A and B are shown apart, each in its own frame.
Chain A
C-alpha cells in the first residue's frame, strides 16, 4: 500500500466468514475530524457450489454497501473502485478471512489404544474434529486406510507412534501409508497439506525422508515419550498454529482476493485477538473476548501473570463449535439436555434435532420466529461454554510450558489446573459474532454471555455493535488512528455490569445486601439465592455501590466481606446475578425449570414475555 495515512479517507473492509461475508464502510468526517463506520452490508459467503469463489460473496456484500451508502464502489467490470472521488470509490480495501471453516483432522498412531489415542486427545484438545483414527492395529488393510484418507480430505494429519526409542518400522509404515495416499488440501490451492509428526524421535529422519517432498511436514516433541506419560502440549499448540496460518483463511477464490487487498489478509481470529489485546493494554485491565462464528468459536483472554503482574495474551480457536457448519457438533458435544435447559418452553426432541440439522445444511438462514431465536440462543450458550472450557485448559502463563499428563489422568478432560484464567479478576467480557452482535435485544447478548462464561464478582459486559472487530483488527495494521476511533465510537457497546457473588447458598437464602446510588435515587435491598435483578443505568453513567455478601458468598474480597465500588452502566444496565458460582443446578422437573428460567428472563427483559409464555401454551 503506497498511500499515506492522512490521504486515506474512505475504507472498505470485509470479513469473509464461513457462512456470511460482512462489509463495512469507514469514512472520514471532515467536520468532526474523525473516522466513523457509516454503512454495513452482508451477503452469504460463496464457498459452495454453484459459485465456489469467495470473491463473489465479497462483491455482493460490497454491492449492498454501495446501495445503502449511495456511493459507487464497484465499476462496470465488477471490481472494487480504488480511486476515490467525492461519491465514488475508496482509498483502500482490506479483508480478514475464516472462510475455510472448521478444522477436520485425521490422526495416526501405532497402537489404537496407546499412541493413536493420545494423538486423538491432542487433536480434540486443539479444538479439531477428528474424522478418523488410523492405527497399525485397526484391522484395516493398507489400501482401505489409504482410500479413507483420500475420501475424507482432512485439513491436517497428526502422525504419532512409538515411544522415544521404541518401534521404528511401524511409524515409518504409517508415514509410507500417508505418502501413498498423497493427500491434497481440500481446497487444493497454493499450499501443501500440513502434517505434524509427534512420534518416536528416533524415527524423525525416516519420516522426513518419506513425507517431506509431498506435504508440509512439521516435527514436534513426541506426544507419548514414554508409555506412562503423555505430553500433548507441543502437538496441540502446533495444530492450532498451523490451522490459523494455513487452513482457516483458505477458500476457493482466495488467491484472487489476495490480489485485491491493500494489506495481507488476516485470519479472523488474528484480527480480533489484536483488538482485544489492544483494549486490555489501553485500559490496563483483564479481558476475555469471544467471537462466535458459523464454523468456529474463538476465545481470547488477557490476564495478569500472578507472579509478575505482566499481562499474558491467550487465544484459542475451537474449530468444532459454531452456529452453522458446526452447529450439529455443538449438539453432539454438549448433548441435548444441556441445550434444552436454556429453552423456557417444552419442545419436541425430534423437532429440535431437525431444526439444528437443517441449520447445518442451510447455514445462512436466520431465525424468523421467537421460538427459532430462543433455540438458536440456547445452542449459542453451549457453544460458548464449551469453547471457554477449552480456552481455560489452554491458557497458561507461558506459551510452550505445558502440563504433562501421566497415564493416571490421561482420561481426565476437565482439568484446568494451571490456567491463568481467574474469573474473579476479570474486568471486561466482550462478545462478538453474529449471534451476539445481532441479537435483537442487547439483553439477550448479556444473558447468553453470563450463562456461558459465568463471570464472578464485578465484571463489565460489552459487545461488538455490528460485528466489526475483525475488520478493525486488520485496519489497525494499516491505519491505527482510524481503527481506534471507530472501535471506541462505533464498535464497542457497553451492556453494563454484572455483579455475581461466588458461593453455593441454599435456594431462597440471602446472598448479598446491596445499596446503589443511581442518578435517579438509591436502590437498596437483599439479593436472594436464585434471583436475578436488573437496574437501569445508561451508557457512560456511573453509580457508587456497596455490596455486602452474606455468609459464604464472596465478591472478591473474601467470604462475607463488603465491597464498595463504582459500577458502570450500559445499554442493559446493572445486573445482580444471585444464581451462585458455580452456577446453581437446573431443577430436574421440567415445569420447575421452565418457571425458573422464565423468571430470570422476565427480570432481565430478555424477550417479549407475553409471546414467550404463549409458546409454552401452544
Chain B
C-alpha cells in the first residue's frame, strides 16, 4: 500500500467555522441575521404542549357530573397558579367546603359535564437551542434555526464521549506525554475545560466529575476505564449522547499516547480562553469527530489550514499508529519499493523511519503510519 493513512484530524490555529443549530420541532427563531451571539445565547425556541392530568372533579366534590360547571371557579383556558383553587363545593349549609387546587402552575383545559372530569394542562415545556459557539448569525432558517459563523482555533480528536459543553481552557499537564492524574485536579477547576497530556486515569476522570469540570481533552484513555465509565462495552464508535457529567475528547487513541505536539501547543496558546467542546463521534463512512472550538472575536484574515495527506517522501514527519512503535514520532528516511516480510511474516510495503526521541531507525509498514500535518 503506497498511500499513508491519515485520519484527517484537523488542527488549525485559525479557521472559519459554521454550525447549524436546528430545533427538533418547528418553533420561533429568536435572533436575526447579523446578530452576534454567545455560546449560551438561545437562538431558537419552541414549546411542547404540557402534560394533561385528568381530575375526577365531580366525584371529589360530590356533585353530579351534569352540574359540575356550576362549581368551577375558573374559565376554560385560564391559567392557574400553584395552590390556586379552581373548583369549590359547599355542603351542610356551607359548613363543609371541598376545594380543588392546582397542584402546580397549569391551565384549566376543559370541564366535562358528561364524565365529570376536569382536565388540567401543565405549563408548556420550553425547548431551546443555544448557539454553542460565539459568533455571528449568517443565516436564519425560518421556524427551524440558524447558522452561526465564527473564526476559531480548532482541533478535532479521534474519539470522544458526551455532548456539547463549554468552559475556560486550562492546561493541567506541562508536557504532551504527562499523564493527567487526580492530584492535578482541584475544586478550582469547576467549570473548566482541562487539557492533559498522554492519558487521563479513571481516578482523575472521577475526580473531575466530582469537581464539576466541564470537559477533558487528552491524548489517550484506557478502554478498560471506558468500559467501567460507560457501564458497557462500546461496540461501535457512535457516541455523543452519554450523560456522564463530563465531556471527554481523546486526541490520539487508546492507552497512554502523548498528545500531538501541535494540538498541545494550540491548547497552551489559548489557555484562559473560552472553549466549546463536543465529544460526539461516529467512526464510519460519513465520519463525525469530537472537537474543541476556541472562538475568536476579532478575525485577522488567515488561510484555513490545508490538509495534504497521502504523500510520503523522505523527510515527511510521521507518527506510528500500531505496535510495536505505537505513538512514536519520526521522519521518513527511505521508501523501499519492494515488499518486505515483517516479523508477523506478512509481506507489506514498508518505509524506514528515524525516531525523534532516540534517532534510531526502524522499518514499519506504510499502512501503520500517519502523516503529521505541518
- Residue A429 at the B interface, CB < 8 A? no
B219 within 8 Å of A (CB atoms): no
The answer to whether B286 touches A362, judged by C-beta atoms less than 8 angstroms apart, is no
Q: What's the count of A-B pairs with C-beta under 8 Å? A: 206
Sorting the interface of chain A by its residue count into under 10, 10 to 19, 20 to 34 or 35 or more gives 35 or more
Decide: A49 and B8 in contact? CB cutoff 8 A: yes
Residues of B within 8 A of A355 (CB): 254, 323
- The one of B24, B233, B321 that contacts A332, using a Cβ cutoff of 8 Å: B233
- Do A365 and B25 touch across chains, with their CB atoms under 8 A apart? no
Q: Do residues B7 and A361 form an inter-chain contact, with CB atoms below 8 A?
A: yes
Which B residues touch A262, using CB under 8 A?
none
Name the contact of B223 in the complex, choosing from A18, A143, A153, A353 (C-beta under 8 A).
A353
Most chain B Cβ neighbours within 10 Å, of A99, A147, A365 = A365
Identify which of A48, A60, A366, A370 contacts B367 (C-beta below 8 A): A366
Q: Mark A409-428, 1 if CB is under 8 A from B, else 0.
A: 00000000000000000000
Chain A residues whose CB sits within 8 angstroms of the CB of B222 once the complex forms: 350, 353-354
Contact of B307 with A50 in the complex, beta carbons under 8 Å: yes
Inter-chain contact A50/B6, CB cutoff 8 Å: yes
Query: Which residue of the partner chain B has the closest CB to A324?
Result: B283
Contact present for B322 and A332 (CB under 8 Å): no
Within 8 A of A (CB), among B7-56: 7-8, 10, 22, 24-25, 46, 48
Q: What's the Cα separation between A142 and B3 when bound, in Å?
A: 46
Closest residue to A100 on the B side, CB-wise?
A: B285
A364–B5 touching, CB < 8 Å: yes
Interface of B is mostly: loop
- Residue A217 CB within 8 A of the other chain: no
State A362–B5 Cα separation when bound (angstroms).
8
Inter-chain contact B233/A186, CB cutoff 8 Å = no
Contact B344 A369 (CB under 8 A): yes
- CB-based contact A141/B321 at 8 Å: no
Residues of chain A contacted by B347 (CB below 8 angstroms)? 440
Query: In this assembly, does B345 line the interface, its C-beta being within 8 Å of a C-beta of chain A?
Result: yes
Query: Which residue among A141, A328, A362, A369 has the maximum number of chain B CB atoms within 10 Å of its CB?
Result: A362
What is the CB-to-nearest-CB distance from B64 to chain A, in angstroms, rounded to a whole number?
31
Q: Does B174 contact A (CB under 8 A)?
A: no
Are B343 and A353 within 8 A (Cβ)? no
Q: Is B309 an interface residue (CB 8 A)?
A: yes
Q: Closest B residue to A47 by CB, please name it.
A: B285
Give min CB distance, B246 to chain A, whole Å.
18
Chain B, residues 238-260, CB within 8 Å of chain A (1/0): the string is 10110000000000011100000
Instruction: Write the B320-355 contact mask toward A (1 if CB under 8 angstroms, else 0).
Output: 011110100000000000000011111110000000
Q: Mark A292-334, 1 if CB is under 8 A from B, else 0.
A: 0001000000000000000000000000100001101101110
* Chain B residues positioned under 8 Å from A372 (CB to CB): 322-323, 344
| B367 CB to nearest A CB, Å | 5
A48:B287 contact, CB within 8 angstroms: yes
Contact A60:B236 (CB < 8 A) given known A47-B285, A358-B253: no
Q: With an 8 A cutoff between CB atoms, is A543 at the interface?
A: no
Question: Does B224 belong to the interface (CB within 8 Å)?
Answer: yes
Task: Check: A202 CB closer than 8 A to any chain B CB.
Answer: no
B322 touches A362 (CB 8 A): yes
Q: What 10 A-B pairs come out closest when comparing CB atoms?
A: A440-B345, A329-B235, A49-B8, A353-B223, A373-B344, A332-B233, A47-B285, A50-B8, A354-B255, A354-B254
Q: List 25 A-B contacts (CB under 8 A).
A: A18-B285, A42-B1, A44-B367, A47-B287, A48-B8, A50-B307, A60-B310, A64-B1, A99-B285, A148-B241, A151-B280, A187-B286, A325-B236, A328-B233, A332-B234, A350-B223, A350-B255, A353-B254, A354-B254, A358-B321, A361-B237, A361-B253, A362-B322, A365-B321, A368-B342
Q: A153-B282, A361-B283 are in contact. List 9 more A-B contacts (CB 8 A).
A: A20-B1, A43-B2, A187-B285, A329-B236, A332-B234, A349-B224, A361-B237, A367-B322, A368-B322
